[in-house]
Amino acid sequence: MQQIDLIVHARWVIPVEPAGVLEHHCVAVHEGRIAAVLPSTDASMRYRAADILHLPDHALIPGLINAHTHAAMSLLRGLADDLPLMEWLNKHIWPAESAWVNPEFVHDGAGLAVAEMLRGGVTCFNDMYFFPDVTARVAARCGMRANVGLIVLDFSTAWASNADDYLHKGIALHDLLRNEPLLSVSFAPHAPYTVSDAPLQDIVKYAEEMNLQIHMHVHETAEEVRQGVDKYGTRPLQRLQELGLLSPSLMAVHMTQLTDEEIAQVARSGAHVLHCPESNLKLASGFCPVDKLIKAGVNVAIGTDGAASNNDLDMWSEMRSAALLAKGVSGDATSVPAAEALRMATINGARALGLEDKTGSLQPGKAADMTAVHLGAIETQPLYDPVSQLVYAAGRHQVTDVWVAGRRLLRERKLTTLDEQAILARAAQWRDKIRP
């Protein structure tokens, strides 16, 4: 018998890849990785574990991957609601950021976001914000997996003075984090309307040399597209194509304004789409044509966007909204079935981030990034199909336990590496500063 660290037995194990539901199975974990997924009755004959957990009313799934967010903006949650995107940005969010964003703001906002995400079963997030070094430090300290965006803009902010300065600082951070097992980076030019051609061409060159992804808001609103045509004489996506960005390295966020030819163009390029359904709804940005993208062969993942425009980091709600919106937009009730929505929140996100060999599914050799969901409550009974129940009926309050690389970061709803009361106190202090 092999001595290992952990065995988690569950009523249902849902690996995502391979597809299907395994009843009365367990996941064996050693040194942070999945050693095996096997029937519970076989585990005692193969393994002796230091820690054994039995979850008789739970589904055990891969940890959710929030494919797009702005973690520190959690401190701006609810500051400026019910406004269109450009008014929201220009008159409220950017002025607030100009006044308040500094390393302390990002530290406390990222801490609040990480705590919320862990309590919601998220084990990995893809971030885009200022002071990415601080967000990386917060994630590493609590043991969460993160891809931090090396933000680039044409204009100065508290983080950098111009596009060259953003790139210089970003590359230095990449070098600093290259040996961190839970952290990765990607270039994060904010959007076509905030980054000019020369920095985008530099990013393409550096991303190719450093084998990094590019994380960018693209075709978020009709107004963005109109402005792009007025300024550059072409739609933003075509401009990105001409600059060399449209490739398997691109993670294009939102993509609510797409023609059929553009969908085919994205599919040919191998680019990924990061879908944020609830933020798009709240800002009236439009509808991402998810069903058409998937049928064209595009990898579509799910993100929450930031809590300033959503107003939460709830991937369960996003999964449900993504599935329902796809049906409503396409007029086809078979669009984005529950199993596909779960894939969009797990393995598809890992694939977009270039992390599919590490996380996103419960397979031997991958990191033990796992989420346990209690399905025995009133709200999820009777239960016929656990995958359907997870997407259409369950909520983040039913997440009980979370592991990242085999480390238990949420134990029976309690955070194990973060001080919840201290996080709440700092959030209250920022509220009183920003809006006294």
Domain borders along the chain are: 2-62+368-405, 64-352
10, 2, 116, 119: which is closest to 50 by C-alpha?
A: 2
pLDDT surpasses 90 at 179: yes
Confidence of residue 170 (pLDDT cuts 50, 70, 90): very high
| Residue 326 · residue 336 · CB < 8 Å | yes
Q: Which residue has the tokens 């002796």?
A: 48
DSSP assignment string, 37-56: EEEHHHHHHHEEEEEEEEEE
Per-residue pLDDT averaged across 96-109, rounded? Answer: 97
Which residues have a Cβ under 8 Å from the Cβ of 205 and sit 6 or more positions away? Answer: none
The CATH superfamily label for domain 2-62+368-405 reads: Urease, subunit C, domain 1 (2.30.40.10)
223, 194, 226, 213: which is closest to 252 by C-alpha?
A: 213
Which segments of 97-249 are extended strands (E)?
122-127, 145-152, 183-189, 214-218
pLDDT surpasses 80 at 244: yes
| Residue 362 · residue 13 · CB < 8 Å | yes
Q: Residue 170: what residue type?
A: G
pLDDT surpasses 70 at 436: no
Q: For residue 85, what pLDDT is reported? A: 84
Q: Residue 364: what residue type?
A: P
Strands 414-415 and 407-411 come out as: antiparallel
Q: Which residue has the tokens 């300024």?
A: 231
Same topology for domains 2-62+368-405 and 64-352, yes or no? no
pLDDT surpasses 80 at 108: yes
Other beta carbons within 10 angstroms of residue 211's beta carbon come to 8
pLDDT surpasses 70 at 112: yes
Q: For residue 133, what pLDDT is reported? A: 98
| Pairwise CA distance, residues 144 & 133, whole Å | 15
Give the mean pLDDT of the chain. 97
Percent of the chain clearing pLDDT 90 (strictly above): 98
Separation of CA 365 from chain center: 22
Between the alpha carbon of residue 56 and those of residues 42, 62, 306, the distances in Å are 16, 18, 35
Helix axis angle, 132-142 to 103-119, nearest 10° = 40
Per-residue pLDDT averaged across 206-211, rounded? Answer: 98
Q: What is the DSSP letter of 93?
A: I
Q: Residue 385: what residue type?
A: D
Report pLDDT digits (tens) over 47-81: 999 999 999 999 999 999 999 999 999 999 999 99
Pick the CATH number of 64-352 from 3.20.20.70, 3.90.226.10, 3.20.20.140, 3.40.50.620: 3.20.20.140
Q: What is the DSSP letter of 395?
A: -
Report pLDDT digits (tens) over 341-369: 999 999 999 999 999 999 999 999 999 99
Which residues have a Cβ under 8 Å from the Cβ of 53 and sit 6 or more positions away? Answer: 6, 7, 8, 9, 401
Q: For residue 435, what pLDDT is reported? A: 87
- Whole-model pTM? 0.98
| Residue 208 · residue 182 · CB < 8 Å | no
Report pLDDT digits (tens) over 35-47: 999 999 999 999 9
Per-residue pLDDT averaged across 169-187, rounded? Answer: 97
Indicate if the alpha-carbon torsion angle 262, 265, 269, 272 is positive or negative: positive
Report pLDDT digits (tens) over 303-354: 999 999 999 999 999 999 999 999 999 999 999 999 999 999 999 999 999 9
pLDDT surpasses 90 at 433: yes
pLDDT surpasses 90 at 162: yes
Strands 250-254 and 214-218 come out as: parallel
